[in-house]
């Protein structure tokens, strides 16, 4: 009986919030007849008191309904709180899918802060392509995804834009571009490139822009390691295209230069992806907050 009454409370609160039996049925994924039945049973349990009445287009609580509504919300909140408290105890691992660039140059500082708060939580990093990271977040295979791309809009996934990232053309210190303050896409005609692997979002952006503008170019090397790419540029085997945060520490050694690519289509953000229910748990909310305040 207690479970049945709880179910009726849930339906009752949803009808009040929705203002309609129909909308409540859609939200709860019930048949409308089930919603109506739940409300009738709840009224019977409370001595036949009418709990809802129609006012214009909407269903509104009666005075008895308003009183019960407050109690019903508290009961549902306590139920959720008890489940969350048990889940918090069960969390032993936090899994993050991320591209290599962010894993090396962006993530460590934030993980250090998180480990100070939760030293016993095991962190599992899964390097992968953005396509796979989005899929793993959506299918609940990982807790969070960290990507670098245009703002992500995928049904069922929350996206936190952490920071708009400057994208750079990286060249040897004596390259003709080294003295420029910025480079346009047309300036890259006939240049030889050392690029990241296929599946990298900023590599895909650059090649798509070359295709759109019909710009001839040569790809001499494809490397999975950003550190190896920077070394190859330093050795004058070609130029590259990388986010600023991955080359900032190298620019000062005078062996390579990083020049901003000026392109109105360039709108890359580092982003944290997660399912909405993750933000309810305290451990995960703490992790999200670290990214929100990282700038």
Query: At 7, which CATH number?
Result: 1.10.10.10
In terms of residue numbers, what domain contains 45? 2-89
The CATH code of the domain that includes 148 is 3.40.190.10
Considering the domain architecture, whether residues 185 and 258 belong to the same structural domain is answered as yes
What phi-psi label fits residue 156: left (phi over 0), alpha (psi between -120 and 50 degrees) or beta? left
Do 55 and 124 sit in the same domain of this protein?
no
In terms of C-beta density within 10 A (0-12 exposed, 13-18 middle, 19 or more buried), how is residue 123 classed? middle
- Angle CA 244–183–202, to nearest 5: 45
Q: Are residues 185 and 250 in the same domain?
A: yes
- Pick the last residue of a domain from 40, 66, 89: 89
Co-location of 232 and 107 in the same domain: no
**Selection from 47, 34, 44 nearest residue 7 by Cα:** 34
| Beta pairing class for 269-274 and 158-164 | antiparallel
Is there a single domain that holds both residue 243 and residue 181? yes
Residues 59 and 192 in one domain: no
Judgement on whether residues 205 and 258 belong to the same structural domain of the protein: yes
The tokens for 201 are 């979002």
Residue ranges of the chain whose pLDDT lies below 50: none
What is the pairing mode between strands 167-172 and 240-243? Answer: antiparallel
- Verify that 195 and 62 share a domain, yes or no: no
Same domain? For 106 and 248 the reply is no
pLDDT of residue 84: 59
pLDDT of res. 294:
82
Tokens 């009986």 locate to: 1
Task: Tell me the CA distances in angstroms from 100 to 47, 225, 252, one per residue in order.
Answer: 63, 8, 23
* Nearest in space to 10 (alpha carbons), one of 47, 39, 32, 44: 39
Contact 101, 269 (CB under 8 A): no
Q: Which two tokens stand for residue 215?
A: 């710009």
Q: How far is CA 268 from the centre of its chain?
A: 14
Among the three residues 68, 89, 110, which one is the final residue of a domain in this structure? 89
State residue 159's pLDDT score: 94
Do 43 and 9 lie in a common domain?
yes
Residue 83's pLDDT is 64
Number of domains in the chain: 3
- The last residue of a domain, from among 54, 89, 124: 89
Token duo for residue 175: 């390259």
Q: Is 190 exposed, middle or buried (0-12, 13-18, 19+ CB in 10 A)?
A: exposed
Q: Are residues 15 and 30 in the same domain?
A: yes
Q: Cite the beta strand spans of the chain per DSSP E.
A: 52-55, 58-61, 93-98, 122-127, 144-149, 158-164, 167-172, 183-184, 192-195, 218-222, 240-243, 256-262, 269-274
In the block, tokens 């250090």 appear at 112
Same domain, 85 and 100: no
Continuous segment of H or E residues that includes residue 137: helix 130-138
């Amino acid at each position: 009986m207690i479970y049945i009454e709880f179910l009726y409370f849930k339906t009752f609160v949803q009808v009040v919030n929705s203002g309609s039996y129909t909308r409540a049925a859609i939200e709860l994924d019930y048949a409308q007849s089930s919603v109506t039945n739940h409300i009738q049973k709840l009224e019977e349990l409370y001595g036949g008191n009418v709990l809802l009445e129609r006012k214009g287009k909407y269903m509104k609580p009666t005075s008895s309904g308003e009183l019960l509504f407050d109690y019903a919300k508290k009961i549902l909140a306590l139920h959720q709180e008890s489940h969350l408290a048990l889940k918090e105890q069960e969390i032993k691992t936090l899994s993050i899918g991320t591209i290599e660039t962010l894993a090396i140059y962006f993530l460590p500082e934030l993980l250090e802060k998180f480990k100070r708060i939760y030293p016993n939580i095991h962190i599992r990093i899964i390097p992968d392509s953005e396509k796979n990271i989005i899929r793993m977040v959506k299918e609940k295979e990982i807790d969070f995804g960290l990507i670098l791309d245009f703002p992500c809009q995928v049904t069922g996934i929350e996206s936190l834009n952490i920071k708009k990232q400057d994208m750079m053309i990286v060249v040897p210190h004596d390259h003709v571009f080294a003295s420029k303050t910025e480079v346009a896409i047309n300036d890259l005609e006939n240049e030889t490139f050392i690029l990241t692997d296929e599946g990298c979002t900023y590599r895909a952006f650059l090649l798509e822009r070359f295709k759109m503008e019909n710009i001839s170019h040569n790809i001499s090397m494809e490397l999975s390691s950003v550190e190896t790419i920077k070394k190859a540029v330093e050795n004058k085997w070609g130029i590259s295209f990388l986010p600023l945060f991955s080359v900032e520490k190298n620019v000062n050694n005078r062996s390579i230069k990083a020049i901003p690519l000026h392109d109105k289509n360039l709108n890359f953000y580092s982003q944290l992806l997660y399912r909405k229910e993750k933000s309810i748990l305290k451990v995960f909310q703490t992790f999200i907050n670290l990214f929100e305040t990282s700038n």
